[in-house]
Structure 1
Amino acid sequence: MNIKNQLRSVIQWENPQQDQLFIKFTDNGDEIKNASKLIIGPGQGCLFTYEGKIEAIFEEEGLYDLKTDNIPFLTTIKKFITFFGDAESEHKTGLWFYKKTDMLNIRWGTRSPIKYDDPVYTFPVRLRTFGNYSIKITEPKNFFTQVVGGLELFTVEEIQEIFVSRIVQPITNYLANAKFSYAEIDSNVNEIANYSKKNTEAIFKELGFQLLDFRIEGTSFDDDTEKRIGRIADVNAEVQAAKLAGLDYTKIEQLKALRDAAKNEGGIAGIGAGLGAGMQVGSMMGMGQNVNTPNQSQNQAQQNTNDPLEKLKKLKEMFEIELISEEEYKNKKQEILKDL
């Protein structure tokens, strides 16, 4: 707080900083006691307190003559200042200037993830959100008594803590009831923001300020949620690949098992035996059209294994879904063709 030395009888808030919401005039007691004029600049207001109580609020900008203006509360203020404005007096007075203008684009973000159950994937997810909001002090008395609490300086940073602590719960409640899945969050951030603003306006009004706007700029999920979703996406991708290859997912998993078995049995040379084993597994799982006896299934599997056309067909399927390399495919194909 600055005051011009050459105008010791004038009290005003000079050079207000962008992050200042409330600030107390704290110059010498003599300057308060001897003051004859109070200047309220554009976008400013001022509270006068006596012994901890708000005695008057200046909401209109302009020059107030504390000695001659025929305004009852100004006369009372001057009386308090004249007789009790001395810093050594037991009767304490105070002047707090506050910002009336809109405070725009204040940053916010959740301190901890918002937890709720994903309705599609049916497991708990943890969501972080961030954005910005704008506020305006509309009830300075409420703001001073419930938020500022007599502090000599109250900044935007301090209101951020109050704001976040009250905005998170409405967001949590909305997500729990809206049933947005992991993939739907980003497309519904405006709806979430509008609901949160609407359901917190009354809370902030009681504290003395109006929530002008509230925006969610981005979201992110915790690492555990991302890993779970990643695993599900991988499975879905494999299912789609199987459909494109004309196979079902069970067949893909069977072929993967055969690939691993072939590696354990000495590489590509073990494919024939693996295919035979795979046919037996498929028959046991009911993949065949007929239910055969164990001997019949074994004979059928052996015949399919020895059939060159069947071998070529299976080999091509394995190549198309990238279970074997192009070189392995060509080499094995030549081996099978030589046996024809």
Structure 2
Amino acid sequence: MGLFDFLKGQFIEVIEWLDDTGSMVYRFPVYDNAIKMGAKLVVRESQAAVFVNEGQIADVFGPGTYTLSTQNMPVLTALKSWKYGFNSPFKADVYFVSTRNFTQLKWGTSNPVIMRDAEFGMVRLRGFGNYALKVHDPAVFLREIFGTQAAFSAENVGSYLKSVIVSGISDLLGESRIPVIDLAASYDELGSAAAAKLQPQFASMGLGLTALTIENLSLPEEVERAIDRRSSMGIVGNLDTYMKYQSAEAIREAANNPDGGAGAGIGLGAGMAMGQAMGRMLSQQGEESSGSPSAAGGSHAGGGASGAAGTSSSGGGSAANGAATDSGSAPGSKKFCSECGQPLAPGAKFCSNCGTKV
């Protein structure tokens, strides 16, 4: 191989990038090799090729096949001072930028976001979701984000973009004033509004935010428990009616399972409760009627006194009446209720008709 063939082999004649790495930016390995004037540049769909001369962005090529010359590299021609054309090899950095849509990128809150809710007061929210982006302006993206790295992926800028997204969504939630219990019904609307709100910030980096979805916005456990209790109360409705229903169900279960351990316990408890209630009712009735026998006794005592007076004043007739009265209350004779007049059973302490204490 002659010297001319060796030098010719060092010149780069075809510049292209077969994107099989998923990178956003790829630096073509020129190193010390020179690019031959008239070389072929192949830019595929969803790609852009950017020529950089000594750190300064020069010409940008979209999809297509090009033969490099001074005519299609006006910026580089000006930078190189190729006033009258130049056919010798030249050196330049070539970057391929992927302009496809990068999807399924994740965002999430590293720390809870504090917001004010009208119903629960100050609450802390956590959230996560997905977003998608693409490079809209390769030159701006290289200048603002990429720098001079050999390769670049969406994950390299992911942490910064996550913070931008979380900040925008937090601000949007505070402005929307949507109650926390209604957030789940507004995920789509919040995602679209957040994407529109964040678009200018992404554009300043040469990027476009093509999609933003909110998968979940979660509350602290104590707030979720409070919501569960409130919803349970709403389902129960009237607590007094609910307790009565529960008591009736317990008694029914005890009656249906007289031999069961749990049923026996429930039945015993229900029976004790019913017995206590009946005892209170009887006690109240006794207290209400406790004054009647004394009054009746006082009346009989007054009658006795009158009888005695009658005996002293009128003699034998009144004495006979007094004797008849005494014989009516003698042992073995039938007694009558002082309240309702019904006959009393022997040894009874309460009237079986009206419940008056004897």
Letter in 2 for 1:131: G
- Tell me the percent identity: 24
For 2:135 and 2:221, how far apart are their aligned partners in 1?
40
Length, aligned pairs only: 255
Deviation at 1:172, TM superposition (A): 1.1
Letter in 2 for 1:226: E
For 1:137 and 1:215, how far apart are their aligned partners in 2?
19
Say whether 1:230 aligns with 2:225: yes
Deviation at 1:162, TM superposition (A): 2.8
Seen in structure 2, the aligned counterparts of structure 1 residues 175 and 11 have a Cα distance that, compared at 3 Å, is same
Seen in structure 2, the aligned counterparts of structure 1 residues 315 and 181 have a Cα distance that, compared at 3 Å, is closer
Seen in structure 2, the aligned counterparts of structure 1 residues 317 and 82 have a Cα distance that, compared at 3 Å, is farther
2:268 is aligned to 331
For 1:189 and 1:329, how far apart are their aligned partners in 2?
48
For 2:208 and 2:126, how far apart are their aligned partners in 1?
25
CA deviation map 1:48-77 (0-9, x unaligned): 111110011112x2222225x743528728
Where does 1:162-201 land on structure 2 (aligned, <5 Å)? Answer: 162-201=160-199
1:115 is aligned to 114
Residue 199 of structure 1 aligns to a residue in which SS? helix
Where does 1:205-220 land on structure 2 (aligned, <5 Å)? Answer: 205-220=203-218
1:273 is aligned to none
| Contact in 2 for aligned 1:43/1:101 (Cα 8 Å) | yes
Deviation at 1:314, TM superposition (A): 12
| Contact in 2 for aligned 1:32/1:81 (Cα 8 Å) | no
Seen in structure 2, the aligned counterparts of structure 1 residues 332 and 54 have a Cα distance that, compared at 3 Å, is closer
Seen in structure 2, the aligned counterparts of structure 1 residues 165 and 231 have a Cα distance that, compared at 3 Å, is closer
2:48 is aligned to 45
2:13 is aligned to 9
For 2:264 and 2:233, how far apart are their aligned partners in 1?
23
Residue 50 of structure 2 aligns to a residue in which SS? strand
Deviation at 1:332, TM superposition (A): 4.1
| Contact in 1 for aligned 2:104/2:132 (Cα 8 Å) | yes
For 1:27 and 1:315, how far apart are their aligned partners in 2?
83
1:139 is aligned to 137
Deviation at 1:38, TM superposition (A): 1.7
Q: Which has the larger radius of gyration?
A: 2
For structure 1, the residue ranges without an aligned partner over 5 or more in a row are 86-92, 253-312
| Contact in 2 for aligned 1:8/1:35 (Cα 8 Å) | no
Name whichever of 73-82 and 106-115 sits farther off.
73-82
User: TM-score normalized by structure 2?
Assistant: 0.60
Seen in structure 2, the aligned counterparts of structure 1 residues 316 and 161 have a Cα distance that, compared at 3 Å, is closer
| Contact in 1 for aligned 2:30/2:93 (Cα 8 Å) | no
Seen in structure 2, the aligned counterparts of structure 1 residues 328 and 11 have a Cα distance that, compared at 3 Å, is same
| Contact in 2 for aligned 1:10/1:35 (Cα 8 Å) | no
Deviation at 1:227, TM superposition (A): 1.8
Letter in 1 for 2:265: E
Seen in structure 2, the aligned counterparts of structure 1 residues 55 and 208 have a Cα distance that, compared at 3 Å, is same
For 1:44 and 1:232, how far apart are their aligned partners in 2?
51
Alignment match of 1:64 (pick from 43, 63, 66): 66
Deviation at 1:209, TM superposition (A): 1.5
Residue 36 of structure 1 aligns to a residue in which SS? strand
Deviation at 1:199, TM superposition (A): 0.9
For 2:231 and 2:20, how far apart are their aligned partners in 1?
58
Alignment match of 2:200 (pick from 193, 199, 202): 202
User: TM-score normalized by structure 1?
Assistant: 0.63
Say whether 1:25 aligns with 2:28: yes
Letter in 1 for 2:99: K
Seen in structure 2, the aligned counterparts of structure 1 residues 84 and 195 have a Cα distance that, compared at 3 Å, is same
For 1:333 and 1:39, how far apart are their aligned partners in 2?
90
Deviation at 1:220, TM superposition (A): 2.4
For 2:176 and 2:30, how far apart are their aligned partners in 1?
54
| Contact in 1 for aligned 2:35/2:89 (Cα 8 Å) | no
| Contact in 2 for aligned 1:245/1:317 (Cα 8 Å) | no
For structure 2, the residue ranges without an aligned partner over 5 or more in a row are 1-8, 254-261, 283-358
For 2:110 and 2:87, how far apart are their aligned partners in 1?
45
Deviation at 1:129, TM superposition (A): 2.0
Deviation at 1:236, TM superposition (A): 5.6
For 2:87 and 2:47, how far apart are their aligned partners in 1?
21
| Contact in 2 for aligned 1:35/1:66 (Cα 8 Å) | yes
Deviation at 1:13, TM superposition (A): 0.8
